[in-house]
Amino acid sequence: MLSRSSFCDTHPQVGVFFTRAGYSKGRTEWVIRMAAPIPEEILTEIRARVSIVEVNSPYVALRKAGRSHIGLCPFHGENTPSFSVNDEGGFFHCFGCGVGGNVFTFLTRLEGISFPEAVRRLAAKAGVAMPQAAKDPQAQERARLYRLNELAATYFQRCLWGNAGSMARRYLQDRRISQSIAERFRLGYAPSGSEGLTRFLTSQQAPLEKAAELGLIGKREGGQYYDKFRHRLMFPITDVVGRIIGFGGRLLPMAQESNTSSGRTLPKYLNSADSVLYKKGASLYGLFQAKEAIQRQGRVFLVEGYIDQLALVQYGYDETVAVLGTALGVEQLKLLHRSTSSGEVYIFFDGDEAGRKAATRAFPLCVEAGLRGRGVFLPQGYDPDTFAHKHGKAALGALIEHAEPLEDFYFRQHAPAVGASAFQRSQAAKEAVGVLRSMTDVVARGALLTQIAQRFGVSEEDLRRMATSQDLPGKQTQAPRERPVPAATQVGAETELLQLMLLDRQAAMRVAAAGIVPAFQQWSELATEIIATWQKAGALDPSTFLDRLPRTIADRVTRAYAREDSEGEEHAREQLLQDCIAKIRNAQRRSGREQLRRELQEAERRGDEAGLRLRLQRLQEQNAHKEE
């Protein structure tokens, strides 16, 4: 069976993308799907036109630092920025988790899309025409689904601002949501009839079966389609780059009254079902519109519902997002972690017992997502809109200003009662320390351990030993800078040489002069291309080769490019170059001797005395040379 790396290594020009199908005993199984090849000149043009900083910015809050931009890594939780983006070189690298690559691999890794889809998306951004044959069927399918959602949003918007939407507009007015805010967030209205959207999609020649997959419409047993959203104010839900991935619908008051009087029970809020595009537990309402304000303000506000979010935006808090009718989850908080450089989130809670329980649950989630949470506790019976409307924007601002750190709230809630026994204090402290299990910020963790010791009346020294015994991230030191590893590792001498050749023209020329490339078993074609590029242009853009390397090697190349070598590392790299060349030469000699032995056996079997003498002479000559 072909492995992912061996197929890519052997056929680097074939358009191939892989879908992770599952794991078995630590080994990744891949489904190999063939696509039409994407011409190299198309990839080169896209890389030349697209800024990798611009592509990263919707997902990561970046700031300029020397020749690079840095931010919090979107691939692992951290509080100290270790994610570096080099716009000039066209690559990114995280010094914390080791992930790296170019503009294409950033999208494939972060969004889980195929390489052809990443190319198609960036080509559209750069204005580069894609050959028809290079288009990815998976990407085309997703594009059709996005278009369906866009058509539905257009229909709902027309209904809101047309004659049918008078009741929905009145509801917005009652909730103090202005027309400008409604238009900015593309609010709409789903009429009470059962076939309005269905007829509209039919008129646009849209595939109704795909609309049903997205949850826009349903299908009766007789095969007739019907609208799922009826007499509802509609809230389009977008991803971080602004594409509509789903909808939320709020039942309007008159429909609620009819619902009660008829004995039917319709949900007040109805959301799109999970689909290829939309995962309710991993999405947030308003994040696309809020991301610039989040980066500008260095914080994000998180509320419970659509109307709360729109109300806070109307009061000037553009950095507000909302959950989507589910309990707050860690995946949603990780989305926010990628968007804010400070890692600070203000979460609005009701002032009742349910709100306090929600705040208690939120603190461990914030820790796991690498965020510092603050709780904004509203008086009982208020939401952000009604509180600001009654008490004024200044009172709401004061409430935000005095938001309580969630760690203070959590530890206060879990602190043992006065007069608790030593055993009770120990158990309470152990439970509190367990929450810190996923923290990677050693300074913040140490401060929290000190706080637990003081609040819970236990020895800080004992507490730190307890933290270590629970397999918490105990004493952490900065990850050592990666040094070149010996060629005898599993990646092999060829792979080590390939990396060195990408980094340094002199190394590539020495490999070429050694005459060992034809002996490469895995990387001969790519090594030849790298050497030719150096010889022809005198320079090499590493990002043009990253897509054709296994991730481990691509990560190591981007790591090396993202930092300056010390004198010791340069010496180690020189030694590695010599060792790898010698290893491949030795392999050539061993292979030659084995071939001669086979030929000797064959000559002896045939009784070919002349051939036998000739091969014995060659074997003796080879044995006379000691291996380097």
The string of pLDDT tens digits covering residues 586-627 is 777 777 667 767 776 776 677 767 766 676 666 666 555 544
Average pLDDT value for residue range 111-140: 76
Average pLDDT value for residue range 172-188: 94
- Flag whether pLDDT at 138 surpasses 80: no
Determine the pLDDT at residue 199.
Answer: 94
Determine the pLDDT at residue 132.
Answer: 64
Determine the pLDDT at residue 441.
Answer: 66
The string of pLDDT tens digits covering residues 307-348 is 999 999 999 999 999 998 778 888 888 888 877 766 789 999
Quick one: what percent of the chain has pLDDT higher than 70?
79
Q: Which residue type is seen at 410?
A: Y
Determine the pLDDT at residue 412.
Answer: 86
Give the confidence band of 24 by pLDDT, cuts at 50, 70, 90. Answer: very low
Indicate the DSSP class of residue 69. Answer: E
Report residue 404 as tokens: 């309580």
- Flag whether pLDDT at 462 surpasses 60: yes
Determine the pLDDT at residue 399.
Answer: 93
Determine the pLDDT at residue 30.
Answer: 29
Quick one: what percent of the chain has pLDDT higher than 90?
25
Give the confidence band of 459 by pLDDT, cuts at 50, 70, 90. Answer: confident
pTM of the model: 0.62
- DSSP codes of every residue in 483-546: -PPPTTSTTHHHHHHHHHHHH-HHHHHHHHHHT-GGG-SSSHHHHHHHHHHHHHHS---THHHH
- Flag whether pLDDT at 10 surpasses 50: no
More confident position, 406 or 520: 406
More confident position, 471 or 209: 209
Q: How many CB atoms lie within 10 A of CB 565?
A: 14
Q: 173 with 76: CB under 8 angstroms?
A: no
Lowest mean per-residue pLDDT among 61-75, 79-93, 403-417, 460-474: 460-474
Lowest mean per-residue pLDDT among 351-360, 371-380, 578-587: 578-587
- Flag whether pLDDT at 135 surpasses 60: no
**Mean per-residue pLDDT over the chain, rounded:** 78
Q: 304 with 323: CB under 8 angstroms?
A: yes
Determine the pLDDT at residue 517.
Answer: 82
Any long-range contacts for 435-438 (C-beta under 8 Å, 24+ apart)? Answer: 435/363, 435/364, 435/367, 435/410, 436/367, 436/467, 436/472, 437/470, 437/471, 437/472, 437/473, 438/77, 438/367, 438/368, 438/473
Show the 3-state SS of 314-359. Answer: HCCCCCEEECCCCCCCHHHHHHHHHHCCCCEEEEEECCCHHHHHHH
The string of pLDDT tens digits covering residues 228-268 is 999 999 999 998 888 899 999 999 987 555 555 555 678 88
Q: How many CB atoms lie within 10 A of CB 520?
A: 21
Give the confidence band of 150 by pLDDT, cuts at 50, 70, 90. Answer: very high
Q: What angle do CA 540, 546, 548 make, to 5 degrees?
A: 115
Q: What end-to-end distance do the CA atoms of the chain give, in Å?
A: 36
Out of 58-67, 122-131, 359-368, give the one with best mean pLDDT.
359-368
Lowest mean per-residue pLDDT among 217-226, 433-442, 527-536: 433-442
Average pLDDT value for residue range 152-180: 94
Average pLDDT value for residue range 25-49: 56
Give the confidence band of 154 by pLDDT, cuts at 50, 70, 90. Answer: very high
Report residue 207 as tokens: 């595939």
Determine the pLDDT at residue 179.
Answer: 95
d(CA 485, CA 468): 30
- Flag whether pLDDT at 198 surpasses 90: yes
d(CA 218, CA 225): 6
Determine the pLDDT at residue 481.
Answer: 40
Out of 9-13, 119-123, 540-544, 600-604, give the one with best mean pLDDT.
119-123
- Flag whether pLDDT at 303 surpasses 90: yes
d(CA 313, CA 320): 7
d(CA 214, CA 276): 8
Determine the pLDDT at residue 70.
Answer: 86
Determine the pLDDT at residue 276.
Answer: 87
Determine the pLDDT at residue 529.
Answer: 86
Determine the pLDDT at residue 488.
Answer: 40
Q: 558 with 97: CB under 8 angstroms?
A: no
Average pLDDT value for residue range 549-555: 71
Determine the pLDDT at residue 489.
Answer: 39
| DSSP β-bridge partners for residue 237 | 246
More confident position, 184 or 110: 184
Average pLDDT value for residue range 4-24: 33
